[in-house]
Structure 1
Amino acid sequence: MPPSHDATSVASALLAKKGLKLQSMETIQSLWAGYGQICRITAIPDTSPISSTQSSRSASAENSNVATPQEAQSYILKLITPPPTKADDEGHTRKILSYQVEQYFYSQLAPQLPASIPVPECLASINQHHADGTSTTAMIMNDLRRDFPVAGEKRDVLSETQVNAALDWLSSFHGFWWSRVKSIDRLSLVLPPLEEIKRADKTAPMRTVWMNGGYTYLATRRKEYSSLANDYSSEWNEPLTDWVDGENVSISELAAAFLAPKVSGWTPIEGYQTLIHGDVKSENLFTSKSGEKVAFYDFQYTGIGLGVSDLAKLFTCSIPLGMLVADQHIPHEMKMQDGERRLLERYWKRVQDVGEQEYLWDIFVRHWETALVDWLRFQASWGFWGNTEWLEARVRSILKDQVWRDALISNVNKANLSQ
């Protein structure tokens, strides 16, 4: 597929700021709904006198600390050229905001990570808004394939070694941001799409990452939730959308309220919040040939949250079922099995070591179970995929746990009283 002239122009302009010249370009993927493209490009040093002068005057906002290479290098160009913003279009607005979040992460947060938590490095980027309501956002990043040549792709491809490497990366990432996330200005966090559109404080600090990491949380999926509430043929209609006795809300709304970070006021997850990836799946990672090291990419939905929310999607969508259960036959209801426990314990021990904070196992498990309920709510209202039998069996068991239900209700009510 030949690249567009616009992609060539944008890539050439960004590379010139680093003293580089475009040598070749190949479009490898189109973005959702035709909003742009991802290209693999090769660049070489531009030795012309004019280029040498220009490259020394690059704007700090457009460049990272990545050194200019001295020989041909492969890079990834992510070019976003969406149509004008559409009023009250939640899906469109979510995507537009997600690309801004991703650019902020790569340019401002990724450079803070140690080399032991590899992510793409941003060489240069732009974010331009045009008079006709369109915009151009572009990032040139290093090509992860050099050090991580194996693509994660579909969930069944991951080996046990790769799964453990992914858990180690996630626990390190979450542990690293566990204390540091408090330094992010709460007023700069990106609100749910339709709330962000109506936001009046346009002079507030530059937007950073999502206030609520991920793209499946209830506040931004009310339409799908309403469909589930009206689908009386679904098994999950009653247990997930009917009001809880004594409460004017459903168990889904309670779980979402429990997991939702706040701009101000007490929340039951206050001491455990970190920065989460927001879209953890095997398709968003590369591994080394041995599978012992992994690098994640695609940080469009990174934001504040509990690390277990990342794990809920990973376990359902990317981990071979045999690593979660010993018997491929899944019962109707199922408590935590040894395989699931071993994986969780690996993550749980490491996140405490890296974060240098305590996370009691019982609290961690309650968080994990709530994240599973919340993740099932999204799948039940949007569509099931992955280890769905395992997920449904686990949630049936969790919903019958009165201790879990009482703790959830108590914590949400306490949070509401503190407002």
Structure 2
Amino acid sequence: MVAAPTPNEVATVLLAKKGLKLQSLETIQSLWAGYGQICRITATPDSSLNSSTDSSRSVSAESSNVSTPQESQSYILKLITPPPTKADDEGHTRKILSYQVEQYFYSQLAPQLPASIPVASCLASINQHHADGTSTTAMLMSDLRQHYPVAGEKRDVLSPIQVNAALDWLSGFHGFWWPHVRHMNRQSLVLPPLEEVQRGGHDASGKTVWINGGYTYLATRRGEYSNLAKDYDSEWNEPLTDWVDGEDVSISEIAAAFLAPKVSGWSPIDGYQTLIHGDVKSENLFTSRNGEQLAFYDFQYTGLGLGVCDLAKLFTCSVPLDLLVSGQPISRELKMQEGERQLLERYWKRLRDVGRQEYKWNIFLRHWETALVDWLRFQASWGFWGNTVWLESRVRSILKDQEWRDALISNVNKADISR
């Protein structure tokens, strides 16, 4: 097996590409299952290069973090050195592909974003796949904390100002990509992990982003869903996994098929798809000290989808509960409250302004309600966390709405439902 390079070795190589020299390195986080590290490094221009004034100026122009020839600057190194690929391990394959997707996002898509949608800059990267099935993926990125020093951290930490900043960033991101995704080559998109392996790809070389953004959609969570279908003690066993009257599929399968982007052919969400972040939560953002500016990171699950799928996780996992229900007791079945409506309207209005396309409020709400049902299906089968009392109450109300059920069922072709 090829020996994995150390963070110091990789940092030195990547920094040299920018005429920089490593000064210090600190591991700040280990990746899932020991697949790598995230490190904060400091570097200075490499004086041994004897650069001329012109070349020094060129280095400074290439790296937005280098402001003066002698100044020490902070960068982030994300290094992934996973074990060999396991073709039948969906979770392992999902992670391997996700790091390739993230590298594509930072190197190819992030530079297209306007300054109003800040993300980290990728200064240099490595993507090597070895004969023994191991790989080395690394990115040298700007340090967001230079301009956004406040970490989002856990649920209930976000202030109302920070929540609004998150909604503005997401509506800007979704709105920007909304008119652009129709020009993407669908054949280059990354399929669900095991499907991608079946067509010969253990990594995403030559690929772009996920066909279906996020990591909770039903096509990759059939095992958890099967467990829920067998769990007769769960409240959500019957409403989410029993067959719908007259159909041999469940409401969960119908909702998932409705929300799933397609490589080809008509989809009920045509005209509303965009790129979604895929893992929206307070732990994946930094804000300015006043909370009014914000930047998200961790784009491993970026792909096509409806923007409301990002919002479903944000509202459940990161928005303080009193912003959704104004401190009132939550009934067992809960229709949309004023707080929830105000947050959605802020997002919806800016989404349309940035995307310069029409999105009727009633259609947006149907999409939102379907995203909540789909998100609850994942939590009910995997494990609950966040504003779960609110989420469960909202979904009980949605599932009893016959108009919502009829509209959903009528818009889904049973042939498109993955079993």
Do both share a fold (TM > 0.5)? yes
How many residue pairs end up in the alignment? 406
Query: What TM-score, normalized by structure 1, do the two folds share?
Result: 0.93
Aligned-partner residue type, residue 176 of structure 2: F
Q: Indicate if the aligned counterparts of 2:97 and 2:202 stay in contact, CA closer than 8 A.
A: no
Cα deviation, residue 204, structure 1:
11
Aligned-partner residue type, residue 380 of structure 2: A
Q: Indicate if the aligned counterparts of 1:23 and 1:41 stay in contact, CA closer than 8 A.
A: yes
Q: Indicate if the aligned counterparts of 1:267 and 1:415 stay in contact, CA closer than 8 A.
A: no
What is the match of residue 199 of structure 1?
199
Aligned-partner residue type, residue 376 of structure 1: L
Deviation sequence 1:6-47 (CA, Å, 0-9, x none): 110000001001100000000000000000000000010012
Secondary structure class of the residue paired with 2:24: strand
Cα deviation, residue 133, structure 1:
1.3
Cα deviation, residue 239, structure 1:
0.2
Aligned equivalents of 1:263, 1:374: Cα separation in 2: 21
What is the match of residue 164 of structure 2?
164
Q: Indicate if the aligned counterparts of 2:18 and 2:63 stay in contact, CA closer than 8 A.
A: no
Comparing 68-77 and 291-300, the one that deviates more: 68-77
What is the match of residue 8 of structure 1?
8
Deviation sequence 1:337-392 (CA, Å, 0-9, x none): 00000000000000000000010000000000000000000000000000000000
What is the match of residue 382 of structure 1?
382
Deviation sequence 1:196-217 (CA, Å, 0-9, x none): 0001589998110000000000
Aligned-partner residue type, residue 356 of structure 1: R
Q: Indicate if the aligned counterparts of 2:145 and 2:286 stay in contact, CA closer than 8 A.
A: yes
Query: What TM-score, normalized by structure 2, do the two folds share?
Result: 0.93
Aligned equivalents of 1:203, 1:243: Cα separation in 2: 36
Q: Indicate if the aligned counterparts of 1:174 and 1:307 stay in contact, CA closer than 8 A.
A: yes
Cα deviation, residue 156, structure 1:
1.0
Cα deviation, residue 326, structure 1:
2.0
What is the match of residue 26 of structure 1?
26
What is the match of residue 294 of structure 1?
294
What is the match of residue 47 of structure 1?
47
What is the match of residue 87 of structure 1?
87
What is the match of residue 128 of structure 2?
128
Cα deviation, residue 68, structure 1:
7.0
Q: Does the C-alpha gap of structure 1 residues 65 and 216 become closer, same or farther in structure 2, counting only changes over 3 Å?
A: farther
Deviation sequence 1:74-110 (CA, Å, 0-9, x none): 0000000000001210000000000000000000000
Aligned equivalents of 1:204, 1:134: Cα separation in 2: 14
Aligned equivalents of 1:168, 1:49: Cα separation in 2: 44
Q: Does the C-alpha gap of structure 1 residues 256 and 384 become closer, same or farther in structure 2, counting only changes over 3 Å?
A: same
Deviation sequence 1:132-156 (CA, Å, 0-9, x none): 2110000010011111000000011
Cα deviation, residue 329, structure 1:
1.8
Aligned equivalents of 1:366, 1:13: Cα separation in 2: 50
Deviation sequence 1:29-70 (CA, Å, 0-9, x none): 000000000000001001213888xx99xxxxxxx9644723
Cα deviation, residue 413, structure 1:
2.7
* 1:235 partnered with 2:235: yes
Deviation sequence 1:213-251 (CA, Å, 0-9, x none): 000000000000000000000000000000001111100
Aligned-partner residue type, residue 86 of structure 1: K
What is the match of residue 142 of structure 1?
142
What is the match of residue 372 of structure 1?
372
The answer for unaligned runs of 5 or more in structure 2 is none
What is the match of residue 223 of structure 2?
223
Aligned equivalents of 2:170, 2:389: Cα separation in 1: 24
What is the match of residue 356 of structure 2?
356
Q: Indicate if the aligned counterparts of 1:286 and 1:296 stay in contact, CA closer than 8 A.
A: yes
Aligned-partner residue type, residue 295 of structure 1: A
Secondary structure class of the residue paired with 2:271: helix
Q: Indicate if the aligned counterparts of 2:100 and 2:205 stay in contact, CA closer than 8 A.
A: no
Aligned equivalents of 1:50, 1:126: Cα separation in 2: 26
> Alpha carbon RMSD of aligned pairs, Å?
2.1
Aligned equivalents of 1:370, 1:275: Cα separation in 2: 18
Aligned equivalents of 2:133, 2:45: Cα separation in 1: 35
Q: Does the C-alpha gap of structure 1 residues 220 and 272 become closer, same or farther in structure 2, counting only changes over 3 Å?
A: same
Percent identical: 79
Aligned-partner residue type, residue 257 of structure 1: A
Q: Indicate if the aligned counterparts of 1:266 and 1:415 stay in contact, CA closer than 8 A.
A: no
* 1:99 partnered with 2:99: yes
What is the match of residue 152 of structure 1?
152
* 1:284 partnered with 2:289: no
Aligned equivalents of 1:200, 1:246: Cα separation in 2: 38
Q: Indicate if the aligned counterparts of 1:38 and 1:76 stay in contact, CA closer than 8 A.
A: yes
Aligned equivalents of 1:66, 1:303: Cα separation in 2: 28
Secondary structure class of the residue paired with 1:165: helix
Aligned-partner residue type, residue 78 of structure 2: K
Cα deviation, residue 183, structure 1:
1.9
Secondary structure class of the residue paired with 2:266: coil
Aligned equivalents of 1:211, 1:5: Cα separation in 2: 32
Secondary structure class of the residue paired with 2:243: coil
Q: How does 1:396-411 map to 2 (within 5 A)?
A: 396-411=396-411
Q: Does the C-alpha gap of structure 1 residues 203 and 195 become closer, same or farther in structure 2, counting only changes over 3 Å?
A: closer
Q: Does the C-alpha gap of structure 1 residues 97 and 65 become closer, same or farther in structure 2, counting only changes over 3 Å?
A: farther
In the TM superposition, structure 1's runs of 4+ consecutive aligned residues that sit over 2 Å from their partners are 49-52, 64-68, 200-205, 413-417
Aligned-partner residue type, residue 199 of structure 1: R
Aligned equivalents of 1:77, 1:105: Cα separation in 2: 16
Q: Indicate if the aligned counterparts of 2:100 and 2:203 stay in contact, CA closer than 8 A.
A: no
